[in-house]
Amino acid sequence: MLAAELCDLTLGSPGAVRSPTQRAASLEENLPHPALSAGAVAVVTGGASGIGLAAATRFAQAGLKVCLADLGEDRLAKAAETIASAAPDGAASVMTLATDVGRLDQVRRLEAAVAERFGGVDVLMNNAGIGPESSAFGPAENWERILAVNLWGVIHGTQVFGPAMIKRGRPGLIINTGSKQGVTTPPGNPAYNVSKAGVKVFTEALQHELRNTPGCQISAHLLIPGFVFTGLTARGRAEKPAGAWTAEQTVDFMLQRLEAGDFYILCPDDETPRALDERRMAWAIGDVIENRPALSRWHPDYAEAFKAFAAGR
């Protein structure tokens, strides 16, 4: 099944493929933010697959002009075909540019290319992310690459596109893709956790600055995905685990929460309900407040205490 067809499955009753008219009506209902309107321009990094591709598809279906930034010309070309098939104006409203978001010069080149093609940007989704394994004493190159893409990619994108978006004088969105691992910081991949914790802190500071900038119509939002089946999380699995959401489900939830005005877009999935996420996050900050051992949720002396806390006892 094509990605565009997969998108249709989440717009109504489970398993129902929607007609173009039904799809347009659903998207109009789910995209009330003034920046998400026909004729606006969206840039999505990491847009050739996963959450980025799902978001770009939704934007294109709503009539936005879309620029996909990612690595791999073949991947970008295939993704562009998917986006063009979903866009009312077809390929005319889609562009791609191979971009390493960890390199400032390439992000600047991306901004210039989008400005030349579409005139400016209204929606920036800093979504590119990688997750090679790391450890506290692991290879420096793994740390450097993860931080370059996951954290510096967000900073570069914001600093390069943001000022022009503000000057544009139109409603706009900067959506940064974080992770629950940037909040609860579980053991296993500290470089990834550090990068996503940094995205959280940066996006909070960004939103504070935006809302205190006179005349600014741009708002920032932190997307916190749950268990999503993508190329990054597949780990060799060909089929989606029962507990995972699709990228399309995650993006549909994101759009609903943007409608509600959420800054923290905390996504559930079919494995972890929001209530349990909240308990895990509360326990994590409790380590600091109560001076417990670091990452006490995974400490054998606190296993029963956390189990009771998670159960609300």
**pTM, entire model:** 0.89
If you average pLDDT over every residue of the chain, what do you get? 90
Q: How confident is the model at residue 4 (pLDDT cuts 50, 70, 90)?
A: very low
What pLDDT does residue 21 have?
A: 42
Measure CA 41 to chain center.
17
Strand partners, 95: 67
CA–CA gap between residue 70 and residue 290 (Å, rounded):
43
Residue 31 has a pLDDT of 53
Residue 121 has pLDDT above 70, yes or no: yes
DSSP string across 9-26 = TTSSSTTPPPPHHHHHHH
Q: What pLDDT score does 313 carry?
A: 84
Indicate whether 236 pLDDT > 80. Answer: no
* List of residues 6+ apart from 34 with CB closer than 8 A: 170, 171
pLDDT at 235: 64
Answer yes or no: is pLDDT of 228 > 50: yes
Determine what percent of the chain is predicted with pLDDT higher than 70: 88
Q: Is 264 a catalytic residue?
A: no
- pLDDT confidence of 259, banded at 50, 70, 90? very high
pLDDT tens-digit series, residues 282-309: 999 999 999 999 999 999 999 999 999 9
Q: What are phi and psi of 300, to 5 degrees?
A: -55, -30
Domains defined along the chain, listed by start? 3-272 (3.40.50.720), 273-313 (no CATH)
List pLDDT tens digits, range 149-168. Answer: 999 999 999 999 999 999 99
Greater pLDDT, 311 or 25: 311
Looking at residue 233, its pLDDT comes to 64
DSSP conformation class of 213: S
What percentage of the chain reaches a pLDDT higher than 90?
85
Predicted pLDDT at 230: 83
Name all contacts of 307-313 with Cβ < 8 Å and 24+ positions apart: 309/279, 309/282, 309/283, 310/276, 310/279, 310/280, 310/283, 312/279
User: Looking at the predicted structure, is the pLDDT value of residue 13 above 50?
Assistant: no
Cα–Cα distances (Å) from 84 to 53, 89, 138, in that order, read 12, 8, 42
Q: Out of 152, 192, 245, 253, pick the active-site residue.
A: 192
pLDDT, greater one: 9 or 174:
174
Q: Label residue 28 by pLDDT band (50, 70, 90).
A: very low
Whether pLDDT at 20 is above 90: no
pLDDT digits (tens, 9 = 90+) for 122-151: 999 999 999 989 999 999 999 999 999 999
Question: Up-side HSE of residue 134: CA atoms within 13 Å toward CB?
Answer: 21
pLDDT reported for residue 22 = 44
Region 197-222: mean pLDDT is: 98
